[in-house]
């Protein structure tokens, strides 16, 4: 069995390798070659932890496995480690033997940023110039860094419930040599591309605060009850997702579907656009919305890529098992 420790991931994995892995597995999901298993997520009644598994099988990429982990809210204060903890296990689909164990913390941020980037690559207008961020936490930095590589952006604007976190966005904009402007929610109308990545349980962005022609990636809603945008925005937009079953149950679309504003059949898997079986954006005025719920196959795809890189670079630890 190969082990790729968390500490090695930053030196091995690139944004472009994560993008390619995620784009490929989204395409495989849409063509029926890859599928996710039902998600398990439990409050275990210890350490206030939420623990679970996300798994799947990609017959095209021959990737079988699961990500195990969750959220331990007291980690930082009591143990000096981050609250989100996860590990990916990969298995040989021919024999069932465990193939690799891979640190999943950094990979989660990279694969989540890759998902919104894939949506921007395939759905945003080519002439997008202003990117708007809603959220400025840990994930937001990864999201913005990856998104800035997708179009020739000239300016970053951002809003966050906790304004003291906005320098996180300013720092990433500065890395790319771009100006950053903090705005009120009404100011987000200037954005051609919007990413929302918060832990909100109520709509933040209203339907009339988004301009025609915008692409919005809603990335924060990954659990029942969470919400970032007005359900009316989904009715106004053409809605895409990583996986329709997750979109309507734990994703942003759960609210619009429950309110009867859109139907499950109105939602398209982004993989269909990647595969060319859906035309994607229909006009320069259309609002496109990507509901990025986060699927296990994304984790497996980036973990498999990092195992290959670790082997190539001689840093995979081999153990007899
Ligand atoms: P974080 O704690 O670092 O940041 C949280 C962000 O949400 C901050 O911008 C904070 O100001 C904002 N926020 C907190 N409470 C809010 C509220 N009530 N209303 C509006 N904004 C609020 O967290 P993070 O690691 O950046 O994660 C952000 C979200 O992304 C979480 O909900 C997490 O579950 C989700 N996430 C989704 C995926 C996916 O695949 N879709 C993957 C990883 C994380």
DSSP string, 207-240: GGGS-TT-EEEE-S--STT-EEE-HHHHHHSEEE
The tokens describing 250, both together, are: 């734990």
Residue minimizing CA distance to atom 36 of ligand 1 = 220
Same domain, 145 and 290: yes
d(CA 157, CA 181): 5
217 C-alpha to ligand 1 centroid (Å): 14
CA dihedral 17, 82, 224, 134 (to 10 degrees): -70
Domain assignment of residue 150, yes or no? yes
CATH number at residue 169: 3.40.50.720
Residue minimizing CA distance to atom 18 of ligand 1 = 200
Question: Cβ neighbours of residue 246 under 8 Å, at least 6 residues apart?
Answer: 36, 39, 293, 294, 295
Tell whether the model's pLDDT for residue 321 goes beyond 90: no
Number of domains in the chain: 2
How do residues 173-229 score in pLDDT, each as one tens digit?
999 999 999 999 999 999 999 999 999 999 999 999 999 999 999 999 998 999 999
Say yes or no: CB of residue 138 within 6 Å of ligand 1.
yes
Average pLDDT over residues 156-180: 98
Say yes or no: CB of residue 136 within 6 Å of ligand 1.
yes
Tell whether the model's pLDDT for residue 51 goes beyond 90: yes
Report the DSSP pairing between strands 155-159 and 130-134.
Answer: parallel
Same domain, 92 and 133: no
Whether this prediction's pTM lies above 0.90 is answered by yes
Question: Cβ neighbours of residue 292 under 8 Å, at least 6 residues apart?
Answer: 112, 115, 116, 119, 217, 218, 219, 241, 242, 251
Report the DSSP pairing between strands 238-241 and 267-269.
Answer: parallel
Same domain, 290 and 174: yes
ipTM confidence: 0.99
Same domain, 90 and 169: no
Same domain, 157 and 283: yes
Same domain, 301 and 257: no
Tell whether the model's pLDDT for residue 62 goes beyond 90: yes
Domain assignment of residue 214, yes or no? yes
Domain assignment of residue 114, yes or no? no
Say yes or no: CB of residue 162 within 6 Å of ligand 1.
yes
Which is it for the CA torsion 154, 159, 165, 166, positive or negative?
Answer: positive
Domain assignment of residue 157, yes or no? yes
Same domain, 310 and 227: no
Alpha carbon distances (Å) from 132 to 25, 119, 197, 304: 27, 15, 11, 32
Same domain, 73 and 158: no
Tell whether the model's pLDDT for residue 2 goes beyond 90: yes
d(CA 104, CA 56): 16
Tell whether the model's pLDDT for residue 103 goes beyond 90: yes
Substitution candidate for ligand 1 out of 77, 82, 198, 230 with most atoms within 8 A of CB = 198
Residue labelled with tokens 């968390």: 6
How do residues 264-295 score in pLDDT, each as one tens digit?
999 999 999 999 999 999 999 999 999 999 99
Residue minimizing CA distance to atom 4 of ligand 1 = 137
- What is the share, in percent, of the chain residues with pLDDT greater than 70? 100
Same domain, 98 and 143: no
Compute the C-alpha angle 34/37/39, nearest 5°.
135
The tokens describing 177, both together, are: 């040599």
Domain assignment of residue 115, yes or no? no
Domain assignment of residue 57, yes or no? yes
CB atoms under 10 Å from CB of 60, counted, come to: 14
Helix axes 138-147, 105-123, angle to 10 degrees: 40
Which helix (H) or strand (E) element contains residue 310?
A: helix 296-312
pLDDT in the model for residue 255: 98
Report the DSSP pairing between strands 227-229 and 267-269.
Answer: unpaired
Average pLDDT over residues 156-169: 98
Say yes or no: CB of residue 160 within 6 Å of ligand 1.
yes
Domain assignment of residue 113, yes or no? no
The tokens describing 148, both together, are: 């800035």
Residues known to be catalytic: 67
CATH number at residue 67: 3.30.1780.10
219 C-alpha to ligand 1 centroid (Å): 9
pLDDT in the model for residue 27: 98
Its domain, for residue 209, covers 125-294
Say yes or no: CB of residue 64 within 6 Å of ligand 1.
no
Domain assignment of residue 154, yes or no? yes
Same domain, 148 and 224: yes
- pLDDT tier at 102 (50, 70, 90 boundaries)? very high
Average pLDDT over residues 74-82: 94
140 C-alpha to ligand 1 centroid (Å): 8
The chain-wide mean pLDDT, for the chain, equals: 97
- What is the share, in percent, of the chain residues with pLDDT greater than 90? 99
Helix axes 15-30, 296-312, angle to 10 degrees: 130
Question: Cβ neighbours of residue 283 under 8 Å, at least 6 residues apart?
Answer: none
Average pLDDT over residues 234-250: 97
229 C-alpha to ligand 1 centroid (Å): 14
- pLDDT tier at 111 (50, 70, 90 boundaries)? very high
- pLDDT tier at 319 (50, 70, 90 boundaries)? very high
Same domain, 94 and 195: no
Same domain, 132 and 261: yes
Which neighbouring-strand residues pair with 257? none
pLDDT in the model for residue 186: 98
Say yes or no: CB of residue 113 within 6 Å of ligand 1.
no
Which neighbouring-strand residues pair with 218? 196, 291
d(CA 277, CA 271): 9
């Amino acid at each position: 069995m190969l082990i790729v420790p968390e500490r090695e991931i930053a030196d091995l994995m690139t944004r472009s390798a994560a993008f390619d892995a995620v784009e490929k597995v989204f395409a495989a999901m849409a063509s029926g070659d890859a599928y996710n298993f039902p998600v398990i997520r439990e409050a275990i009644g210890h350490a206030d932890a939420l623990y679970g598994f996300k798994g799947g099988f990609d017959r095209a990429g021959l990737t079988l496995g699961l990500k195990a982990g969750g959220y331990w809210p007291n980690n930082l204060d009591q143990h000096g480690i981050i609250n989100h903890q996860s590990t990916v296990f990969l298995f040989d689909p021919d024999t069932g033997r465990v193939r690799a164990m891979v640190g999943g913390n950094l990979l989660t941020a990279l694969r989540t940023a890759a998902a919104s980037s894939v949506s921007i690559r395939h759905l945003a207008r080519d002439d997008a110039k202003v990117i708007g961020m809603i959220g400025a936490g840990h994930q937001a930095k990864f999201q913005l860094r990856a998104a800035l590589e997708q179009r020739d952006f000239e300016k970053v604007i951002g809003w966050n419930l906790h304004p003291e976190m906005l320098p996180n966005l300013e720092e990433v904009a500065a890395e790319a040599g771009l100006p950053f402007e903090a705005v009120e929610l009404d100011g987000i109308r200037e954005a051609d591309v919007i990413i929302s990545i918060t832990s909100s349980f109520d709509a933040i962005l209203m339907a009339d605060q988004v301009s025609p022609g915008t692409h919005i990636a809603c990335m924060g809603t990954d659990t029942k009850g969470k919400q970032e945008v007005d359900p009316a925005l989904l009715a106004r937009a053409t809605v895409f997702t990583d996986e329709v079953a997750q979109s309507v149950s734990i994703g942003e679309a759960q609210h619009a579907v429950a309110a009867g504003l859109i139907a499950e059949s109105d939602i398209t898997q982004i993989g269909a656009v990647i595969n060319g079986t859906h035309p994607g954006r229909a006009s320069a005025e259309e609002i496109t919305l990507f509901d990025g719920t986060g699927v296990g196959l994304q984790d497996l795809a980036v973990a498999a890529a990092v195992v290959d890189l670790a082997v190539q670079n001689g840093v995979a630890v081999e153990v007899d098992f």
